[in-house]
Structure 1
Amino acid sequence: MYIEKVGERTLADCKVLIVDDQASSRLVLETLLEDTVACNSVCSGMEAIEYCKHQTPDLILMDVSMPELDGHQTTALLRKKTSCAHIPVIFVTSSSTDEEESKCWESGCVDFVEKPVNACTLRNRVKSHINHKLRNDLLEKLIYIDKLTGAYNRHYLDDYLPRLIKDGLRNVAPLSLVIFDVDHFKLFNDMYGHLDGDSCLWKVSKTINDALLRPMDKLVRIGGEEFLVILPSTDIEGAKSVTKRLLETVFDLNIPHADSEYERVTLSAGLAVKNANDNKTIDYLMLEADKNLYTAKTSGRNRFTAPTSTPSSKVETQGAPIKLTGLG
């Protein structure tokens, strides 16, 4: 999530994911909702899980009876993923027994509709649940979003990071953190003034967020000019690749900074990685990333340091495109 203005999203901006193994059923649901909300569709539970890794629908219409993974199993798997747990699921079922209804609720759905689907019922239930989600999203923004930069704030970090640690242990997946800050930012403020300083932070934050390619990757402002990027299911090589792109993207903004040795705004960054089989705590992980940030800054800035990088990896400023060298 990244916002420029709070509360701008409407029903027309939302997307519904339809999950059904029958092409005719998908077509019926899409046709019934086409005047209400944008829809995408997939034909299996596994495709739904893969879809949600890269995009976050506002609501899922889930068929219950599907081969391999049925609707209940698919929803249970989505609920285990921190980035997907908040997505409301409406089951579409041909059974109206009390047993089936109870099973739907126990699986974590917010509602269900019976087949054959009544058009009026479907539209109104979809609208009702999406509007409820929009209100919750707005509340979350007011609580968790830094007003100046649009990035997440420390409150969000305190709630989100522990859940990711648990996800990594459960899924046997690494978690990478990147702490970065704007080089010579105090000098920037002294020369250009605090209004331009605020504008600089906003541009850097938006640019970094736009460069993050997965909805699960999060940008958090943890200090004045200091930010944290959280990269779930990302090993050290993946974290290096992402950090390289982030530093290059900010370098390419070419925000003038006369008191910088690079004559533009640049970033320094430090990386840390927690593998599922190690016992690193959140505090240790943050401290490790912060120490690597310090190394990057004392090594000349405009570069990053990873746990195995010696020396720190610098953004070249000659020629195009800019690239990183010296990866350990």
Structure 2
Amino acid sequence: MILPEPERGSVILIVDDSVASIEILSALLKDLGDIIVATNGADAVRLAEEHQPDLILLDQEMPGMDGYETCRALKANDETRHCAIIFVTAHTGQDMEVGAFAAGAVDFITKPFNAPVVIARVNTHLALKRKTDALQQLADRDGLTGVYNRRYLDSLLTTEIRRHHRQGQSLGFAMVDIDFFKAYNDGYGHLAGDDCLRNFAQCLTGMLRRPGELVARYGGEEFAIIVPNLDVDRAEGFSNWLCQGIRDLALPHAFSNIQNYLTASVGLAVGVPPQGMSVREVTLVADAALYQAKRNGRNTSVVSNFNL
């Protein structure tokens, strides 16, 4: 099988306590992606969390956290376990190879470096990573609307809760529900209802402005939005903006009890996640705010701070 050349934009993390090795590998791989470097295991884990590299070249022998310990830490971390890891070692033999694969590595390269072999192996694993990512993208999407599905939403929200707690940053999580969708579906028919869901999802996606924001279909006519680093004092304006964006869609809804066009209700949970907060707890706060928005007459939003 011929693998496609990896596109530029790949991120490669080189981890080695030897500056000379870092310089050699950086020079060899500079045309295959953006290079970031670390000289110890702790910095490698931190940089991997921050930059989400496609591939990590990890030295086997380092002071403190050695390569095996660092590899296991990366694979045990929800934010970095997807990263492909190639061990870099001066040793050969069955025990080394078995140990590397047992720790979670996908391959290894040996010192002193054979330039064509290094480039070929890195190039192959970058291409494999891109193909794996493409397949995962398909598995993570809702078949009707094309936005992310509930399974992926729960996985990412888990990661974002932990990250925002660790960094002391405020996280926003919105539940958005189409008002009187059953009446829309019954009145216009299921095919029109499917078109409505697709238009609604596209509208929400088009309103995303910052990296990390994500729309997912939660179920039925209910959608969810993850909003990283949403300050509490901006939350009400953001939730009102979502409602207005749906109104601006101006999609006719002759069967609505409140307007003659499509509207939505929004419940937004916001705040710095406390230690141990779960996806279910965040969702319950947003869902309770959504329920209150419906009780308030729909076509409106309610914000709830989960720190209170």
TM-score by length of 1: 0.67
In 2, distance between residues paired with 1:248 and 1:47? 41
Aligned residue number for residue 40 of structure 1: 36
Provide the secondary structure at the position in 1 that maps to 2:248: coil
Letter in 2 for 1:305: V
Indicate conservation of the 8 Å contact 1:93/1:114, yes or no. Answer: yes
Indicate conservation of the 8 Å contact 1:177/1:228, yes or no. Answer: no
Task: Please state how far the C-alpha of 1:269 moved relative to its aligned partner.
Answer: 2.1
Provide the secondary structure at the position in 1 that maps to 2:37: strand
Indicate conservation of the 8 Å contact 1:63/1:92, yes or no. Answer: yes
Aligned residue number for residue 316 of structure 1: none
Task: Please state how far the C-alpha of 1:181 moved relative to its aligned partner.
Answer: 0.9
Aligned residue number for residue 210 of structure 2: 211
Whether 1:202 and 2:214 are equivalent positions in the alignment is: no
Task: Please state how far the C-alpha of 1:244 moved relative to its aligned partner.
Answer: 5.6
Aligned residue number for residue 226 of structure 1: 222
- Give per-residue Cα distances to partners, 1:58-85, cap 9 Å, x unaligned: 1111122223322222221111112211
Aligned residue number for residue 239 of structure 2: 247
2:108 to 105, 108, 112: 112
Whether 1:181 and 2:213 are equivalent positions in the alignment is: no
Change (3 A) 1:152 1:198: closer
In 2, distance between residues paired with 1:242 and 1:48? 34
Provide the secondary structure at the position in 1 that maps to 2:142: coil
Indicate conservation of the 8 Å contact 1:182/1:266, yes or no. Answer: yes
- Give per-residue Cα distances to partners, 1:160-185, cap 9 Å, x unaligned: 37x949x96xx999997824216658
Whether 1:137 and 2:112 are equivalent positions in the alignment is: no
RMSD between superposed Cα atoms in Å:
4.5
Change (3 A) 1:20 1:294: same
- Give per-residue Cα distances to partners, 1:36-67, cap 9 Å, x unaligned: 33322233322222222232211111122223
Could you tell me which runs of 5 or more consecutive residues in structure 2 were left unpaired when the two chains were aligned. Answer: 253-257
Change (3 A) 1:13 1:242: farther
2:303 to 290, 302, 305: 305
Indicate conservation of the 8 Å contact 2:85/2:104, yes or no. Answer: yes
In 2, distance between residues paired with 1:151 and 1:33? 34
Indicate conservation of the 8 Å contact 1:251/1:264, yes or no. Answer: no
Superposed counterparts of 1:1-328, under 5 Å: 10-147=6-143, 150-157=146-153, 160=155, 164=158, 178-181=173-176, 184=179, 198-208=198-208, 210-213=209-212, 219-229=215-225, 240=232, 247=239, 250=242, 256=248, 268-271=266-269, 282=280, 286-299=283-296, 302-306=300-304
Bigger Cα displacement from structure 2, 197-206 vs 55-64? 197-206
Change (3 A) 1:305 1:249: closer
Bigger Cα displacement from structure 2, 78-87 vs 30-39? 30-39
Q: Percent identity?
A: 26
Provide the secondary structure at the position in 2 that maps to 1:271: strand
Indicate conservation of the 8 Å contact 1:254/1:264, yes or no. Answer: yes
TM-score by length of 2: 0.70
Q: Give the number of equivalent residue pairs.
A: 286
In 1, distance between residues paired with 2:99 and 2:226? 35
Task: Please state how far the C-alpha of 1:107 moved relative to its aligned partner.
Answer: 1.4
In 2, distance between residues paired with 1:121 and 1:241? 54
Task: Please state how far the C-alpha of 1:17 moved relative to its aligned partner.
Answer: 1.5
Task: Please state how far the C-alpha of 1:288 moved relative to its aligned partner.
Answer: 4.3
Could you tell me which runs of 5 or more consecutive residues in structure 1 were left unpaired when the two chains were aligned. Answer: 1-7, 310-327
